[in-house]
Amino acid sequence: MAEVIDEPAEAPPPRSSAAERLRENRILGFSLAAAILCLDQGMKWIVTYVLQLRQRGSMEITTFFQLRWENNEGVSMGFLKAGTEFERWLLVAMTAAISAFVLAWMWREKRRDDTIALAFVLGGAVGNILDRVRLGYVVDYADLHFGDVHPFLIFNVGDAAITIGVLLLLVRALLTRERKAPEEDK
């Protein structure tokens, strides 16, 4: 008679190690940043060449949103305008340094939600840096308004991504603070 050998039950798959989670976050972060960069540059190409917005000036899309061409010589949403070539390249250097900081932070970030937020910032920033290097200005075109009230400056996908990423980081920092264990009395 053949002896029946009990086979051990299959062990559950091992939980991913911290290194594996970090690797997955990096892949997610770089993929998302690249997708935002492509979306930003693709939309700028469409409004520039397909819709020829520069020549048209503006296009009404809805009663509260229109496309309107603007050469943005400042940083995100028109702040810190660069009037000279020196100031232009100074803005390029400054935004590149900030992007390098965001890249380093994203590389080390262990939290998936923060990685996503940083990817938004990085993708948007690189898109605007590319414009400034290639054109000398950033192409802005999105004008959200309510009647005659324009609560936002004219912006682009990169600006929106930067804003969303920063807001996500702020919300997470303000609402999900980690509690420290109370110290024991000595």
The set of catalytic residues is 140, 159
Identity of the residue numbered 158: G
Give the DSSP H or E segment for 122.
Answer: helix 112-135
Q: How far apart are CA 67 and CA 60, in angstroms?
A: 6
**Rounded distance between C-alpha atoms, residue 120 and residue 43, angstroms:** 16
CA distance 4 to 53: 78
Tokens of 137: 């200005």
Angle between helical axes of 112-135 and 85-108 (0-180°, round to 10): 160
- DSSP β-ladder status, 65-72 and 138-144: antiparallel
Alpha carbon distance 143, 69 (integer Å): 9
Q: What's the CA gap between 125 and 159, in Å, rounded?
A: 8
Q: Tally helices (H) and strands (E) across the chain.
A: 5, 3
